[in-house]
Structure 1
Amino acid sequence: MLVKIIPELGLFALIMALGLAFIQALAPLAGVTLRRPLWMAFAEPMAWGQFAFLLVAYASLTASFLLDDFSVSYVANNSNSMLPWYYKLTAVWGGHEGSVLLWSLILSGWGFAVSLFSRNLPRDMLARVLGVMGMVSTGFLLFILITSSPFERLLPGVPQDGADLNPLLQDVGLIFHPPMLYMGYVGFSVAFAFAIAALLGGRLDAAWTRWVRPWTNIAWAFLTMGIALGSWWAYYELGWGGWWFWDPVENASFLPWLTGTALIHSLAVTEKRGTFKSWTALLAIFTFSLSLLGTFLVRSGVLTSVHAFANDPSRGIFILALLGFTVGASLLIFALRAPRMSGNVGFGWLSRDALLLINNILLVVMTVTVLLGTVYPLILDALGLGKISVGPPYFNTLFVPLTVLLCAFMGLGPVARWKQMAGRELMRRLLWSGIAALIMAAAVPFIYGGEWNAAVALGLVMALWVVLALIRDLFDKTRHASSPLAGLRKLSLAHWGMVVGHLGMAITIVGVAMVSNYAIERNVRLAVGERVEIGGYSFTMTDLSERRGPNFLADTATLEVARDGQHVTTLRPEKRLYIARGQPMTDVALRPGLLQDIYVALGEDLGDGAWAMRIQIKPFVRWLWLGALLMATGGLLAVADRRYRRQRSVPADSTLLREVHT
């Protein structure tokens, strides 16, 4: 009997979560306004209860998938009895309704975490933060219940079996990619809530930045890993060997990453120097707004992409209205409150403050560049002014020069001093680093490729400039210590986070430059016993067989790969046919390596035992994801800094504080 009512239990939990989110949105904010401490105290239990009920709702939907309850429409459309159990778990967020439920669950989880780990916040500040998060939760829970309930029944016509999960999503990468991405997307709601709370409370000072920095760094680290996992998934799952195509949905996640990167740097300046107060709050608003814009683009049906969910227009209108309300209300609060809280702290134009400001401006310009290229074709189409396609040539032409400028200032920032610095001293510190970067960057293309390649040299000089500047900074900070090791140990974890994050950026740039210019790709025709030479390797097809998977049939080719007569590896690419959907898929074969990948995708059957194949040699492609991993690690290292573990409370309004204690 319990099994039969699991979907109803999930729906009831969703309704309860909405009620608690509504109370969380209203009672604490009203309590602060009317000076009612008891109302303010509603914030934390409501956040806990909302999280608990959403856990029940999510567990109910998961149980429906594991039990093959095809009376639930969402399960019938996204699962199948032959689907392996671990893909049934990922199918929970494999479609629109489940992914929005996961979005709401993660949002409530962030609110629960804030209520647990921000006990030192002034009571009125915590009430405002959780109240703002409650408002966002209310909007999304209304969206789920009104337009996107995952618990709708197919009664009485229950299908015998489900339509199966999209084969593109039946992959280990999709077990981790969406949750990581959503943790980043939704995590910026905390920075947004803190910014709005600080504006409402008149506290755009170093204290609020110290509270919000750990949450922002964690969200940024999750988003970085989520984007990297999506790139990795596209690389091997789609069969074309690409890692980024400026797809509109890829751009939707990249936009908040760019402004989020600007935000974590701006927070550092505000905490250290008390400058950029209003700018930092505005970046927090923009970053979360771009996360909501990404949600709209993916779930409104306005985009056609392997990443997007095509849906009815009512859903898009609801999300657009939620986006408009959030952006409009937050910008109105900013316009009314920010001018009263501007600081008077000055700095010279040759200082770390100024360099970080320039980096912020460049990141915002890059954001605008990507945003225009993504939404401008949609706006033209919506206005009936024709259809245009904006692809990689536009983005690469504008983005590469901006990235070069960004890296130039990234190298200057760590060695510059706060407030003011002499130009001669800055030049003295970085002169030899710049010369060494130019020499090494010029030499590597000759050594690796045997000829000059300007694009590779430019990428390498950017990366080396960043790395050598970091080394110079570490040298300056440790040269007066009793030993280099002792000096390194004295550096804070926040500083090490900066070093590791910038190093990750440099490694990613090397990967982009090398794989974009030195990759080798050939489309060939092979039959059993035939051989082809590509990139110094010989590929011999030795076997062609068939096999049955849990929910698919596959043709498998066996290729022996050798170099200079020595066996290197055996690769087995497959062409699969998923039974329930009748949909063909390519399962590529990879031989990964730190310096290069060997990549084979099986194409179409050409008859007479011959098959089309795409064979690629991808140099340094792993450095893309290694760099992203280091960037995310840098963000987490900064969070672990002891000054964020020992935050002290800044008193709230004294009268209100006495009322709370009473």
Structure 2
Amino acid sequence: MLMRILPEIGHFALIIALLMAVVQAVLPLAGAATRRPLWMAYAQPMATGQFVFVLLAYGCLTASYLMDDFSVVNVANNANSLLPWYYKLSAVWGNHEGSVLLWSLMLAGWGCVAAWWSRHLPRDMLARVLGVLGLISAGFLLFMLLTSNPFERHLLDIPADGADLNPLLQDIGLIVHPPMLYMGYVGFSVVFAFAIAALLGGRLDAAWTRWARPWTNAAWAFLTVGIALGSWWAYYELGWGGWWFWDPVENASLLPWLTGTALMHSLAVTEKRGSFKSWTVLLAIATFSLSLMGTFLVRSGVLTSVHAFANDPSRGLFILVLLAVTVTLSLVVFALRAPRVSHKVGFNWLSRDALLLINNGLLITMTMTVLLGTLYPLILDSLGLGKISVGPPYFNTLFVPLTVITCLFMGLGPAARWKTTSPGELLRRLWLAGLAALVLGALIPLVYRGEWNLWVTLGLSAALWIVLSLVRDLFDKLLHRRSVWAGLRALSLAYWGMVLGHLGVAVTIIGATVVSHYAVERNVRMSPDTRVEVAGYQFTLTELTDRRGPNYLADAAVIEVQRGDSQRRFLMQPEKRLYLATGMPMTQVALRPGLFRDLYVAMGEDLGDGSWAMRIQYKPFVRWLWLGGLLMALGAVLAVADKRYRQVRPARLAQEGKA
């Protein structure tokens, strides 16, 4: 009996959550404007209640999946009785309706955490923050209930079994990738809410930036991990061995990451020096707006991608209207309030302030480059001016040089002083690091492959420049300490977060540079006892077998791999799967991972005479791409944990706001 009414319970829970979101939006904002404490007091319980009811709705949908309730359209279209239970959990968000529900759950969760974690903030500030979050939640809950109801029922002809989850999504990477990505997207809504609340309250001061920074770092860390996981999934699941294809949906996640990176640095300047106030608010608005734009691209049907969820233009129109309203209203608030609360703080052209401003300018330029390449084909198509494709050559030609230039200023920033730095001092501190980076960047390709390569030298020199400038900065900080250990303990977690973040960028650049220029790929025909050599490894097909999985049939190859004359051997077993419910074939690659190289084998087509097409690849340093992403995320987490961003009494906040 309970199973039969779970979808109705979930549906009504969403309706109640929508009503609570409306109350959360209207009363606290009105109370803050009219100074009515009772109205402002509604913010926290409404935020908590909204989260509880959205969580109840999500639990009902999850239970429907686990119990194979195919009377629910969403379950029937995206699950199957043979689907393993853990993929049923990921199938909940592996579709448009479920993913919007997950988005709403995370948005409500962030709002609930903000309501209680920040309860020490001034009452009017907290009311405005939660009121803005309530407005956003109301928009998404309304979108879900009007156009994307996950609890819609089959009234007649209930299917005996489901259509199954897309085989591309039946993977561990898709169990963790979307939640991480959404946590990043949605997390920036809190930063956006703080920015709008600060504008409405007329307090663009150190108080609001100090409390916005942990939320920014946390959201950026989640988004970084989400992007890295998406790249990792595409690498081993799609069978082509690439880690980034400049797909429009990939770009949709990169855009808020770039502006979010600029926002983190801008918040640091605003907190430390009181400058960049307007710039910081605009970056907060832009970052959240780009998160919404990514949602529009994935769900509007305006593009075709393995990552896209929907092809219903009516859904895309709703999100486009929500995006337009959000951007327009936030910019109107900015135009009306920012001139009254901002003031200029001077700094020299050679200072940490100036270098961070230049870096932010470069990050925005990179954002506009990616945005133009992503939207230009869509705009032309919508205007009936023809279809064009903007691919990797465009993005690589513009994005790579901008990245190298950005790395140059990344190395200079930590060594420079706030407000002003003399050129002589900067040169004295960093000339050795710069020379060493150039020399090592030129020598490493000669040692590694016996030939010089300009692009490899540029990439390695940029990465080494970041690392060596960090080493020099750390050396300077420890130089006059009583002991190295005492000096290390004196450094803040925020500083170590910066070190790890910059180090992660360097590691990622090394991985991208090496694998892009030194990867080896061979497409070969193999039958039993066929031997192929790739990058010094011998691959021998020893056996062809078939096996049955829980919901698929698979042809499998057993390949013995040996390096050179070594007696050490290991096996790799790629598969070609046929999923029973959908009849869709899928490639399951075989990977032999390592810190300095991956071996990668993917089965192609059966050539009909007992042989198969095989793609064999040698991918040097490819793991460094994702290792760098993890280091960046860990750096952001360390910054969040810094004691300066723990709870501060309202009196201290007020005092800092007046300073």
> What is the TM-score normalised by the length of structure 1?
0.98
Deviates more, 1:559-568 or 1:435-444: 559-568
Is residue 552–residue 578 contact of structure 1 (8 Å, CA) maintained in 2? yes
Deviations 1:595-625 (A, max 9, x none): 0000000000001110000000000000000
**What is aligned with 1:572?**
573
**What is aligned with 1:602?**
603
Report the Cα offset of residue 309 of structure 1. 1.4
**What is aligned with 1:297?**
297
1:465-504 superposed matches below 5 A: 465-504=465-504
CA distance in 1, matches of 2:423, 2:346: 18
Report the Cα offset of residue 313 of structure 1. 1.1
1:264-275 superposed matches below 5 A: 264-275=264-275
**What is aligned with 1:434?**
434
Deviations 1:311-352 (A, max 9, x none): 211101100000000000001100111111222321101000
CA distance in 1, matches of 2:163, 2:302: 24
CA distance in 1, matches of 2:120, 2:437: 47
Is residue 120–residue 647 contact of structure 2 (8 Å, CA) maintained in 1? no
Q: Which amino acid aligns with 2:591?
A: L
Report the Cα offset of residue 650 of structure 1. 4.7
Report the Cα offset of residue 483 of structure 1. 1.3
Percent identical? 73
**Compared with structure 1, are the counterparts of its residues 32 and 646 closer, same or farther at alpha carbon in structure 2 (3 Å cutoff)?**
closer
SS at match of 1:607: coil
Report the Cα offset of residue 568 of structure 1. 3.6
SS at match of 1:311: coil
Instruction: For structure 2, list consecutive stretches of 5 or more residues without a partner in the other structure.
Output: none
**What is aligned with 1:659?**
none
CA distance in 1, matches of 2:622, 2:414: 28
* 1:17 corresponds to 2:17: yes
CA distance in 2, matches of 1:478, 1:314: 60
Report the Cα offset of residue 651 of structure 1. 7.9
**What is aligned with 1:185?**
185
CA distance in 1, matches of 2:309, 2:457: 40
**What is aligned with 1:657?**
none
Q: Which amino acid aligns with 2:335?
A: A
User: Number of paired residues?
Assistant: 654
Is residue 54–residue 105 contact of structure 1 (8 Å, CA) maintained in 2? yes
SS at match of 2:586: strand
CA distance in 2, matches of 1:292, 1:47: 21
Is residue 497–residue 636 contact of structure 2 (8 Å, CA) maintained in 1? yes
Deviates more, 1:59-68 or 1:482-491: 482-491
**What is aligned with 1:324?**
324
Is residue 249–residue 294 contact of structure 1 (8 Å, CA) maintained in 2? yes
Instruction: For structure 1, list consecutive stretches of 5 or more residues without a partner in the other structure.
Output: 655-662
Deviations 1:63-97 (A, max 9, x none): 00000000000000000000000000000000000
Report the Cα offset of residue 565 of structure 1. 2.9
Report the Cα offset of residue 123 of structure 1. 0.2
Report the Cα offset of residue 653 of structure 1. 9.6
**What is aligned with 1:554?**
554
Deviations 1:456-485 (A, max 9, x none): 111000000000000011011111101122
Deviations 1:567-591 (A, max 9, x none): 3421000000000000000000000
SS at match of 2:546: strand
**What is aligned with 1:512?**
512
Q: Which amino acid aligns with 1:492?
A: S
CA distance in 2, matches of 1:652, 1:395: 44
**What is aligned with 1:346?**
346
What do you get for the CA RMSD once the two structures are aligned? Answer: 1.0
SS at match of 1:613: strand
Q: Which amino acid aligns with 1:444?
A: I
SS at match of 2:581: coil
Is residue 299–residue 312 contact of structure 2 (8 Å, CA) maintained in 1? no
Deviations 1:125-184 (A, max 9, x none): 000000000000000000000000000001121000000000000000001000000000
**What is aligned with 1:527?**
527
Q: Which amino acid aligns with 2:441?
A: A
Deviations 1:373-415 (A, max 9, x none): 0011101100111111000000000001110110000000001
Is residue 577–residue 588 contact of structure 2 (8 Å, CA) maintained in 1? yes
**Compared with structure 1, are the counterparts of its residues 640 and 652 closer, same or farther at alpha carbon in structure 2 (3 Å cutoff)?**
closer
Deviations 1:179-204 (A, max 9, x none): 00000000000000000000000000
CA distance in 1, matches of 2:33, 2:382: 42
Is residue 575–residue 603 contact of structure 2 (8 Å, CA) maintained in 1? yes
Is residue 569–residue 591 contact of structure 1 (8 Å, CA) maintained in 2? no
CA distance in 2, matches of 1:614, 1:344: 59
SS at match of 2:304: coil
Q: Which amino acid aligns with 2:58?
A: Y
Is residue 554–residue 575 contact of structure 2 (8 Å, CA) maintained in 1? yes
Is residue 222–residue 632 contact of structure 1 (8 Å, CA) maintained in 2? yes
Is residue 217–residue 640 contact of structure 2 (8 Å, CA) maintained in 1? yes
Report the Cα offset of residue 652 of structure 1. 9.3
Report the Cα offset of residue 646 of structure 1. 3.8
Deviates more, 1:31-40 or 1:88-97: 31-40
Runs of 4+ in structure 1 displaced over 6 angstroms? 651-654
CA distance in 2, matches of 1:600, 1:350: 51
Report the Cα offset of residue 486 of structure 1. 1.4
Is residue 266–residue 356 contact of structure 2 (8 Å, CA) maintained in 1? yes
**What is aligned with 2:407?**
407
1:252-263 superposed matches below 5 A: 252-263=252-263
CA distance in 1, matches of 2:545, 2:654: 75
Report the Cα offset of residue 543 of structure 1. 0.4
CA distance in 2, matches of 1:271, 1:563: 55
**Compared with structure 1, are the counterparts of its residues 302 and 579 closer, same or farther at alpha carbon in structure 2 (3 Å cutoff)?**
same
SS at match of 2:607: strand
**Compared with structure 1, are the counterparts of its residues 327 and 221 closer, same or farther at alpha carbon in structure 2 (3 Å cutoff)?**
same
CA distance in 2, matches of 1:367, 1:564: 45
SS at match of 1:452: coil
Is residue 83–residue 550 contact of structure 1 (8 Å, CA) maintained in 2? yes
